[in-house]
Chains A and B, each alone.
Chain A
Amino acid sequence: MELVEIRRDPLVIVEPRGRIDTVAAEPFGNRLTELIRSGSRHMLIDLQHVIYISSAGFRALLIAGKLAEESNAKLVLCGLSAEIKRLFEIGTFMDLFTICASREDGMVKAQ
């Protein structure tokens, strides 16, 4: 997995690319945690280039979500492909995250 970060102050857009599997979930989760701890309060995770998320990937997102909540930070997801959306649905995660259909909507929501 490759991780791209785009800064549009105060917004940080995180763009994981590829598979968020057991191996990739750890650095992905660590980076999200690091960003929130270092003061990022407006985060958008764009999943448009993600082709697979394992249970470990969902765990990383849940941990980041909780930390964001505790830190009064906004964490928004966007760009879910049909397959990734299906995985959120079978994991019954749709209600646990703020999910926007497009990047533009996500950027507004995360501000």
Chain B
Amino acid sequence: MKKPATLIYGLEEMPPPFITISNGIQHVGLIAINLVFPLLVFRAAGTPLDLIGGLLSSGLVVLGIGTFLQAYRLGPIGSGYMCPSTFTATYLAPSLLAAKIGGLPLVFGMTLFSGVLEAAIAPLLNRLRAIFPPEISGLVILLIGMSIGTSGLRLVLAPGAEPLSGAEWLVAGATLVTMVGLNVWGVGTLRMLCALIGLVIGYIAAGFAGLFGTTFVAVHDADWIGFPIPAHLAWAFDATMIAPFAIASVAAALKAAGTIALCQRMNDADWVRPEMGSTTRGVLADGAATAVAGLMGAVGTNTSTPGVGLAAAIGVGSRPVAYAVAVLFVLLAFFPKLTALLAIMPRAVMVSALLFTATFIIINGIQVISSRLLDARRSMIIGFSMVAGISVDIFPSLSAAAPKMFMPVVGSPLVFGTVIALGLNLLFRIGVRRTVNLTLDQPEGAHQRIDDFFVRQGAAWGARPDVIKRAIFGVTQLVDAVDENCRKEGPMTVTASFDEFNLDIRLAYQGALLEFPEQRPSADDIRAGLEGMRRLAGFMLRRNADRIASERAGDRVVVHFHFDH
């Protein structure tokens, strides 16, 4: 692992105590906003205010444990990276549903189930890509973002919800304007902590507007220091809730894998592609943290992508900072006044926090969807599933009319949209040929035909654009080099096979073998003539593919390119 120049303190380095602690505080501040998710679930379950504080304290301990597990590498658990835990929007929709159906015991029981499931699928993660390709992961993220936004608006706009008073509008506006303003026009720490600062401003505004009312008694009555003990813990399980929580588990596992890949890239200047060893251990730790959350009376957790982003921006990716974050979370849990203050968050502040969070998740989803080439089939999978998901919120009467056992599927935009996408993905696989051929018989127009062939096939396969670009360059350069140097006769045939993990290309022609040297010819050799140019072509082709081989088969030469996908 080579430390990149942008990193001041690498993974194994120990920054001075001041840097370690101040970085830890910044991370905790960044993550604190996500306490809004368990808070929303606890309120949805009708939990009394005096119990919510204890549950939030317990949740802080869970985040400490999760951050520690991720960094420490306890046996097969833990990626070893500075990758803090956070409460996640991924589990929000299923948890709200569970809170409505079976109260907190069902939330905790299903959270425990989700954690165990995520840990179980960690070793299978790479294989999941075939049935859960990135564009569907992106759709899931997009639907999660939309469900957060609507969860926020439902607090104030749902039928039966008390309309926002003038004072509440002002507080919501002040909170949102602070968050958005600092994010768009702020710099440095102000920008990074915009959500937390917005929350503080919202609380102050709510205090002036008298929005806390009698709830502030709970803060007044809470002790300054106390043990984080969650009261009345109980667990329940409901088979009808498996689908929504399983989808959230898979989404959390994929997100954790993505965040850990980000950690790998941040810490290694020579990073090329995700290293599955630490990814699997990291997803296992992420699942374990969610299981612990279920056991200790909290909602599902996940790796914090903004946390890793913050580490990259500051240039401090040291493991000791992760330990500092873990200790700070646990310490905060010993201040009941703080968690009581969080527990009485006015809905005007909460709705702004949820709307602000939703925007970034929605865009993240769109970016993941567009990370693949999309043909008509894949466009329809995304389009139909998105409409299906949205329709659940717009036409609640449709899901209300469905049999009760299907309620967890058709009653949730996230679950319904994902199920439709997975079904269509399986259906549309019919007729997509995994192996395709192209014959190049004329040098004229060959380049355009190679381009069109791979772009069309890449979209049908849902391949990564960067891999398709490498394939196009490889085939085009080989055609050029063979035409120029190998006394080629007759057409060249191109056979491309794709299976989500590999793109293999076989090119066959009649002529001389092309050499693929490991060393580049010198600049003078290249300038000197055809021989240097031919060897340069071979050298570039070797470096362009992940593996390359050539052999003679009868009177034909066969060249194999392999690209990891």
Contacts and interface: CB of A to CB of B under 8 A. Distances in A.
A96 B523 contact: yes
A108 to B, nearest CB: 24
Interface in B97-147: none
A91 interface: yes
B544 A90 contact: yes
B463 to A, nearest CB: 16
Interface string A52-64: 1011101100110
A19 to B, nearest CB: 6
B396 to A, nearest CB: 46
A58 B536 contact: yes
B476 A21 contact: yes
Interface string B463-486: 000000100010011001101100
A37 interface: no
A66 B536 contact: no
A59 B447 contact: no
B476 A52 contact: yes
A55 B537 contact: yes
Nearest to B448: A19
A1 to B, nearest CB: 11
B380 interface: no
B234 to A, nearest CB: 54
Q: Is the interface of A mostly helix, strand, loop or mixed?
A: helix
Interface in A6-26: 19, 21-22
A59 B535 CA distance: 12
A62 B527 contact: yes
A87 interface: yes
B526 interface: yes
A105 to B, nearest CB: 20
Nearest to A18: B447
A38 interface: no
Contacts, number: 55
Contacts of A21: 447, 476, 480
Given A90-B540, A90-B544, A91-B540, A55 B481 contact: yes
A92 B447 contact: no
A5 interface: no
Contacts of A34: none
A56 B530 CA distance: 9
A71 to B, nearest CB: 15
A76 to B, nearest CB: 17
B477 A55 contact: yes
B526 A62 contact: yes
B526 A58 contact: yes
A87 B539 CA distance: 11
B527 A56 contact: no
B170 interface: no
A70 B476 CA distance: 33
Interface in B504-536: 520, 523, 526-527, 532-534, 536
Contact of A22 (B484, B527, B539, B543): B484
A56 B483 CA distance: 12
Interface residues of A, number: 19
Interface string B255-285: 0000000000000000000000000000000
A103 B246 CA distance: 51
A22 B483 contact: yes
Contacts of A63: 527
B390 to A, nearest CB: 34
A32 B523 CA distance: 17
B189 to A, nearest CB: 28
Nearest to A22: B480
A56 B526 CA distance: 9
A83 interface: yes
A22 B444 CA distance: 12
Contacts of A83: 469, 473
Contact of A91 (B484, B527, B539): B539
Nearest to B535: A55
Nearest to A65: B523
A59 B469 contact: no
A59 B536 contact: yes
B477 A54 contact: yes
Given A21-B447, A96-B523, A55 B480 contact: yes
A87 B473 contact: yes
26 contacts: A21-B476, A21-B480, A52-B447, A54-B481, A54-B537, A55-B477, A55-B480, A55-B526, A55-B533, A55-B537, A56-B480, A56-B484, A59-B526, A59-B527, A59-B532, A62-B526, A62-B527, A66-B523, A66-B527, A83-B469, A83-B473, A86-B469, A87-B473, A91-B536, A91-B539, A91-B540
Interface of A: 19, 21-22, 52, 54-56, 58-59, 62-63, 66, 83, 86-87, 90-92, 96
Closest 7 CB pairs between A and B? A55-B537, A90-B543, A55-B536, A22-B480, A54-B480, A59-B533, A55-B533
Given A55-B537, A91-B543, 17 more contacts: A19-B447, A21-B447, A22-B484, A52-B447, A54-B476, A54-B477, A55-B477, A59-B527, A59-B533, A62-B526, A83-B469, A90-B540, A90-B543, A90-B544, A91-B540, A92-B520, A96-B523
